[in-house]
Structure 1
Amino acid sequence: MSFIKTNREIVEASKKSIEDTILDGAKKKLHKINIISALNNKKQIFNKVFNWCFKESKKILYIINTDIEEVKILGLINKIFINSIEGENDIAYTGKVNICTHSRALYLNEKFDFIIYDEINSRPIYSNESINKLMEYLCNNYGTMISYSTEPIFHNELILYNLRKDKQVPIAEPRIMVTRVNIEEEIPMSVYEYLEWSINTNKKVLIYTPDDEKTHKVYNYLSNIDHKLTKNIFKDITGDSDKKELSKFLLAEYGILVTNNYNENYYGVHPLNIMIFFADNDNFNYKDLVYISSKINRRSMAEREEVIFLCNSETEDMDRCKNILRELNKRAWEEGVLKL
């Protein structure tokens, strides 16, 4: 069942599927539509509106910040309908879903009748203001723009919820641990005990840091504490082509990986706890925190996988991240998607 939010009021939509609701919006020439979802929702919801756009000879643009080949692998769109716009000389076609990244879209000269900006199936990188401005620039006056994100990009516009029906357990909402300890030099005893508990219960732990330097410092500190914690402590640095440490972590029964590489996926790792050290660092905005938190892929409530933000002070970005994930869980409960 779809839900629509307009003028800050929520009213139950018709019994139509979200695909039909999107199609109706395009036919009625709604200019802006928000679709809200948890990250990594691969359910196809745009095929009906794509087919209608093809029949009406409308030009479509699909913006996603991942490798175009990844879009084909994910099966988000039928491969036959895809036209990749990557090089400077690539052009957009009618009768195709023209796909490109945000950075490539900045240099497009065409105007489009139907635009989707997908932040759900790739790492969110750009601000809502940048996304809004880009779509406004590229869209025809009577065209339709859709933001597909964890939160509304367009204010006071139509909102639809596309909840993940394959996920019947709540999204992990982060827990915040505030400490006065200088995390670059040591860790609080509570964190040590948490890591020890994770290892003793055969859980793997991902520790995210904001940059290379802090990754090295945290890794060196944990490696030199003692061997009572674990010998299975590894690190993975952004841009490092040597993935031996990462492979060892993935193959180990339990262990700790310290990394600043946010782009790696760990959906096959269970059970898994995630800690974000220096969560109050300016390098972590709320979209980064939502993205990293969503790497927890709970299979059941019994696994009790969780996310912890370790910081010296709580920030607005942390609060915003928590509110976004809490709202998604609230919607899922209200629609009966989640099960205890």
Structure 2
Amino acid sequence: MDAESVPNGLPGGDLPSPRVVDPRRAVRAGARCLAGDTPVLLADGRTRPLSELSVGEEVFGTREGRFAVTRVRAHWKTTRPAYRLVLGDGTQVVASGDHRFLTDEGWRHLAPGRCEGAESRPHLVKGARLVGTGRFAAPPAHLPDYRRGYLWGAVRGGPPCDPEVLARVRDFAGGRAGGWGRGWVPRDGELPEPAAEPGEEWSKGFLAGLFDARGSSTGGELVMSSSDGAVFDAAVRALLRLEVPHVVEVRGVRVVGGLAARLRFLHLIGPVLPRGNAVEGMAVPVTSRLEVVSVESLGAARTLHDITTGTGDFVANGLVSHNCSAAPA
């Protein structure tokens, strides 16, 4: 990746302290914004809609072509004409026309326009290739099947020891119809056996429970292990059902397919334990899957949001997105 493609190529690193931006001044300074429901990659590996972020929260930006943790320094919203960007893998974002995304040839505005010097600004065209992982998977809803699957994975695959995992097990066990009562940790023999062909929600919950109890994310590798043959077989079936690429190893399974596949797995199953170490320090992917298919005007102004971070960028629905250029008030 060339020098232009490095979002934080200049010295300085994170800004020294949080700043508050006056939305009116942000508009005058040329705020570049995204739809509020755009998922942003948090430092713990989870996602949160852009509109729900707060100053001081840690998110992922990039530094020298690799994912790096940074803090939100400012956050605001404004109303501007909106455009929809569609990429080859199905990734979509809604943003203002002057918002910038990182491509394999450097930063590009979403739509044509003029710079301050009355020159045409560089913008995205069909076939341009953005960098990143591509669209994030939606997190699971904690429906009854998910809860039952989580209990089976965490208790039968465990037992669970981490306080956060135990808290979820107690919560899910207490919510079971005719169950053990809130605060109770069920024993292995008290768990109902899964159906012969478990559904997607059970599979997501089971993998989340197993990963919380017996999973690891060392060096970016996501591995689940178990000496219990039934648990091992259930893990393989669940990964196949959710179309998660993996390899079977001795007493364990490993998620493969690069950072995009690992993030999809984590977001799809929603474990309770943070796994930001599966992302931090990883190289920002460059792939032909993120070629621009279309940029279209939505024909109306929308309420849009943006943030400033210490690295000068953040990860919006799997794409490296530039900060708003608004001067702090």
Is the pair's TM-score, using the shorter chain for normalization, greater than 0.5? no
Which structure dedicates a bigger proportion of its chain to strand?
2
| More RCO (CA 8 Å, sep 6+) | 2
Q: TM-score, normalised by structure 2?
A: 0.30
